[in-house]
């Protein structure tokens, strides 16, 4: 059983498009996250979501929006994609300790 799963694994799309990445965790964790890993391997937190409380990193453009239909899901919607959005996006979940990561979604904007 995969603890944190995200889809798709690869996503190639054109500039200006809108896309979504889905994330589901079956660990019963209260907190879910989205991280962006750029070409330099930096892991930057984008959002955290805990008990309907959303904390947004102030550097994230408002083209990015997380949506959580329930505690086990935190999807990422991206509007008007730009070249600089190309990166690997990781979903993660935690319960008061270490974060479990999904396998990542490699987004390429062309």
Enumerate binding residues for another protein (CB under 8 A). Answer: 31, 33, 35, 40-45, 48, 50, 55, 57, 90, 92, 94, 97-104
CB of 2 to another protein, least distance (A): 11
Residue number with CB closer to another protein (21 or 92):
92
CB of 92 to another protein, least distance (A): 8
Residue number with CB closer to another protein (12 or 15):
12
CB of 52 to another protein, least distance (A): 13
Residue number with CB closer to another protein (14 or 51):
51
Q: Which residues pair with 32 in a beta bridge?
A: 49, 93
CB of 68 to another protein, least distance (A): 15
Residue number with CB closer to another protein (70 or 98):
98
Q: Which residues, 6 or more positions from 45, have their beta carbon under 8 angstroms from its beta carbon?
A: 33, 34, 35, 57
CA dist 95 and 90 (Å) reads 17
């Amino acid at each position: 059983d995969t603890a944190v799963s995200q889809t798709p694994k690869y996503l190639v799309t054109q500039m200006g498009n809108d896309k979504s990445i889905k994330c589901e965790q079956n660990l019963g964790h209260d907190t879910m996250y989205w991280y962006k890993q750029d070409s330099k391997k930096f892991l930057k937190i984008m959002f955290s979501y805990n008990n309907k409380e959303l904390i947004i990193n102030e550097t994230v453009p408002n083209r990015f929006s997380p949506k959580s239909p329930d505690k086990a899901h935190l999807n990422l919607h991206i509007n008007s994609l730009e070249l600089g959005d190309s990166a690997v996006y990781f979903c993660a979940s935690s319960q008061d300790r270490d974060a479990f990561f999904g396998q990542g979604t490699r987004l390429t904007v062309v």
